[in-house]
Structure 1
Amino acid sequence: MPPGEPKTTRTIWEQSLVVVDSRALGRQCLTQSLRSSGICLNVVAVGSMEEWRSQEAQHPPLSAILVNVGGRRLTDPDISEDITRLVSKFHSVPVIVLADNDDLAQILKALECGARGYIPSSVGIEICAEAISLALAGGTFVPASSVVAMKSAIDSGMQETHPILSMFTPRQAEVANALRRGKANKIIAYELDLHESTVKVHIRNIMRKLKATNRTEVAYKINDLFPLDTRS
């Protein structure tokens, strides 16, 4: 390395990124692209981790694993088990998944398996390199589109499953459901781990939203507006 190069860069260059892809052309092209992107890692292409083991002594220590599953799906038990096994075996090394789709279910499955990132092949090589760097820094990369999709799914599910949340905040909804069951402020405070004064504030806000004048009217109106909501 040049004598004036920062120590951190020298340290990174002394680490290896292993690209695992059973397709020779795919892994070779990806490896060359990553090297051209300027990523400060020794990039090694292998068909399997067993192949890496056979040549491990020839390279700097392993620092990250990029697994290209291509068009295979993480929801396939065989694939998810492979990723889980890899994460478990190399527990101190981040495993990142590269795949041909950005389906939300696949991304969630990859994270569930312990992957420290999910990169869809639709992104550019610069983003791919940044995602790997993020994993090395302790972060987890997911495509922005999946975060938006996840938020929409959560919001939709909350509105459909808990319609009372369309009017109240989650905490107000808990207090409101307790009121409809006739629970006293002290009991509500104990069950929700709140101060009794905080419970009273929530009750005042609930009464204001419902235009109710007392607790009995609150319970009546909640049962009338949300008859199917029976959560405690």
Structure 2
Amino acid sequence: MSMRHLCREYVSVMAAIADFSTNASDFGGNAFTAGETSSCHAMTGLPSSTVDVEARVAFIDRRPLVRECLSRALINATGWNVSTYGSAGAWLSVSDNVPVSLVVLCIGSRDCTQETDEDICLLDRLAERAPVAIMGDQESPTQIVAALDRSVRGYVPTSLPLHVAIEAMRLVRAGGIYVPASSLIEAQKTNVESASEKPKASSIFTQRQLAVIEALRKGKANKIIAYELSMRESTVKVHVRNIMKKLKARNRTEVAYLASAILDGIK
């Protein structure tokens, strides 16, 4: 499951808390503060250097169980002041009274390119109030680029371990940009594969047509082309017509331009 790492870390934290249940704070509400979780750090054995009580975070997820689990895991691992909301609109409606230094929008398997998703459509407005990090199940380059295009400063896959996800959020909160290295590697691999699949020039044009194209690129007239290639002028005209059909060009100038663009890219 895509949430396995985060949930595993959450279960470990909550198991430690259970051993000290008499000292634990009340987690019954939707908003959790650093004050409520300060004792949890002592119970879980987290070093004091990991506690960042100054951070105020808005955590948004439409799924109540996931929202509660992940927000509590963040609190226990960092000491952040985390407030939870069921939608981006819910936080925006109170954002003037609840300023934050980071917004985390957990979208699950939803697509950042969806124009009908209310939370996705409000990303730009969220980003006007605070740095935004998306937490999602998808790791495709297309998904991540779509998020960045909407002013998001970080894309945190749910496949990451909790401590890595937290460092990514800290980077975004500090003004940086985070994208998973795996997506960059995948994008590079896709580009290499696409390049290897491009057709060879010889599969588009015959050798004689390639010779005519080279002459057209140099601005030579049909008579000169016929003389240099030892063919009839009428034959040159036939080749030019066929080349124009393949390139969907309307004249010799377009042939020279389109052919240059194609040949320079696939030779």
Which protein has the larger Cα radius of gyration, Structure 1 or Structure 2?
2
**1:44 has 2:83 as partner:** yes
**1:66 has 2:66 as partner:** no
Pair 78,57 (structure 1): closer, same or farther in 2 beyond 3 Å: closer
- C-alpha contact (below 8 Å) 1:84/1:114 kept by paired residues: no
Q: Which amino acid aligns with 2:103?
A: I
Cα distance in 2 for residues equivalent to 1:31 and 1:119: 15
Pair 24,157 (structure 1): closer, same or farther in 2 beyond 3 Å: same
CA apart distance, 1:130: 0.8
Match of 1:76 in 2: 114
Corresponding pairs, count: 163
Pair 82,49 (structure 1): closer, same or farther in 2 beyond 3 Å: closer
Residue from 60, 65, 72 that aligns with 1:20? 60
* Corresponding residue SS for 1:62: coil
1:177-232: CA deviation from partner (whole Å, max 9, x where unpaired): xxx9569xxxxxxxxxxxxxxxxxxxxxxxxxxxxxxxxxxxxxxxxxx995156x
* Corresponding residue SS for 1:128: helix
Cα distance in 1 for residues equivalent to 2:112 and 2:169: 19
- C-alpha contact (below 8 Å) 1:87/1:95 kept by paired residues: no
Residue from 122, 129, 150 that aligns with 2:166? 129
CA apart distance, 1:90: 3.8
**1:100 has 2:146 as partner:** no
Pair 17,163 (structure 1): closer, same or farther in 2 beyond 3 Å: farther
Match of 2:183 in 1: 146
Q: Which runs of 5+ in 1 are unaligned?
A: 3-8, 165-179, 184-225
Pair 50,158 (structure 1): closer, same or farther in 2 beyond 3 Å: same
The answer to which of 22-31 and 41-50 deviates more is: 41-50
- C-alpha contact (below 8 Å) 1:162/1:229 kept by paired residues: no
Q: Which runs of 5+ in 2 are unaligned?
A: 1-34, 39-48, 202-215, 220-259
Give the RMSD, CA atoms, in angstroms: 3.4
Cα distance in 1 for residues equivalent to 2:200 and 2:163: 43
Pair 36,158 (structure 1): closer, same or farther in 2 beyond 3 Å: same
1:111-166: CA deviation from partner (whole Å, max 9, x where unpaired): 122211111111111111111101012211111210101122233445555989xx
The ranges of structure 1 where at least 4 consecutive aligned residues each deviate by more than 4 angstroms after the TM superposition are: 53-59, 158-164, 180-183
Aligned pairs (5 A) from 1:149-164: 149-158=186-195, 160=197
The alignment's TM-score, normalised by the length of structure 2, stands at: 0.51
Cα distance in 2 for residues equivalent to 1:104 and 1:90: 21
Pair 27,107 (structure 1): closer, same or farther in 2 beyond 3 Å: same
Match of 1:88 in 2: 125
Pair 163,113 (structure 1): closer, same or farther in 2 beyond 3 Å: farther
The alignment's TM-score, normalised by the length of structure 1, stands at: 0.58
